[in-house]
Amino acid sequence: MNAPISDQYRIETEPLDMPPRLLLGPGPSNVHPRALQAMSTAPVGHLDPSFVAVMDEVQDLLRYLWQTENELTLPISGTGSAGMEAALANVVEPGDVVLVGIAGYFGQRLVEMARRYGADVRCVEKAWGEVFSLDELRQALEEQRPAVLALVQGETSSGACQPLEGVGDLCHEHDCLLLVDAVASLGGAPFFADEWGVDVAYSGSQKCLSCPPGLAPLSLSPRAVAKVEGRDTPVANWYLDLTLLAQYWGEQPDGGRKYHHTAPINMNYALRECLRLIAAEGLEAAWKRHRESAELLWDGLGELGLECHVPREHRLPSLTTVRVPQGVNPQEVTTTLLQDHNIEIANGLGQLAGKVWRVGLMGYNSRPDNVLRLLDALGRVLDR
Ligand code: PLP
């Protein structure tokens, strides 16, 4: 006799019906309609030659996006945190000194993850909204002598954009790898992996790439690959082990690909479409568009009497932190924007909780019409 089937969770539901939000928070941003269309293409097998061709195109387009010739360039299956985890799990061996620049929430996450892989973590810290100078980084490298320096280019919690020019050379002079989080900046702000000497870089699909969350572009320089290949201990995370993933994403001696895990086929269709769109627009034009919509936002905020938290020269074009004026309840504003105007912006995190709002202009969303719609709605909500 089988046990009786329980209907406790056999709930009645309606077909999915989600509100038409304008996503102007720290991500996800609205997905490009062409990516949604690509996602609805019927999946093929993950070793089908037609999918292998898609994988090759995705990898080349990612090399364009990262401005790199790195062979080991692929999308990790997972969100930006999976990219962060893959980066650390592969290049950090137990006992390695990892120096993390903390100027926001995601710097702290790097610390938390690096510790779990056995790193001897050292930190340099800055107030949220500030960036590290080359001199500060040089001094920290001299003092700590790390194997890896980890920095966040676009700190989504603070709205600051960490300059990276010269940091790679500095790291290499100190026999150290440079690892960079570009989750909130890739595609929205300049990134030159090879020219800047970035050894490990990761991002996320759901921000400036206009794709849904679920893939994390990752790229490793030959120097970083040599560190992975020379490990004394196996990578502690099987799913994210790049030596295994490389056998699926790169051609094997027999000309085939080796199964590792089933790639999220439809997410790769979407990413390919988004990367095609960026390639068609051109990186320079995409960066300029992000910069111009951010400047329109900054000027408009000023006209509303609002102040940005980060000095203009270090502002991230894809995410702006706006100071909450005295006497205003930040949560009430975000809730009203969402409920009455279908616009999502976010409240501050950590040190900046209650002090700022976070406004994202990422990828497909980074357009003047969206900026004007937000400024109009924000003005009305604040007037109330
Ligand atoms: N790093 C930065 C700078 C981010 O902004 C985020 C997400 O907001 C992450 C890492 C983590 O990405 P995810 O939430 O996609 O896992």
Q: Which residues line ligand 1 (CB under 6 A)?
A: 26-27, 79-81, 84, 106, 152, 154, 156, 181, 183-184, 204, 213
Nearest-atom number in ligand 1 for the CA of 82 is 16
As a whole number of angstroms, the distance between CA 166 and CA 152 comes to 15
Q: 178 pairs with which residues across the strands?
A: 149
As a whole number of angstroms, the distance between CA 156 and CA 340 comes to 25
Exposure string of 73-100, with b = 16+ CB inside 10 Å and e = fewer, is bbbbbbbbbbbbbbbbbbbbbeebbbbb
Instruction: Quote the ligand 1 centre to 101 CA distance (angstroms).
Output: 16
**Tokens read off for 156:** 């989504």
pLDDT in tens, 134-153: 999 999 999 999 999 999 99
pLDDT in tens, 202-216: 999 999 999 999 999
Q: Residue 1 above 80 pLDDT?
A: no
- Quote the pLDDT of residue 283: 98
Overall average pLDDT of the 244-251 stretch: 95
Closest residue (by CA) to atom 9 of ligand 1? 80
Instruction: Quote the ligand 1 centre to 111 CA distance (angstroms).
Output: 14
Nearest-atom number in ligand 1 for the CA of 319 is 5
Q: 0.85 cut: is pTM over it?
A: yes
Nearest-atom number in ligand 1 for the CA of 213 is 15
As a whole number of angstroms, the distance between CA 173 and CA 166 comes to 11
Q: Are strands 346-347 and 356-360 parallel, antiparallel or unpaired?
A: antiparallel
As a whole number of angstroms, the distance between CA 65 and CA 73 comes to 11
- Residue 251: which pLDDT band, with cuts at 50, 70 and 90? confident
- Quote the pLDDT of residue 110: 98
- Residue 252: which pLDDT band, with cuts at 50, 70 and 90? confident
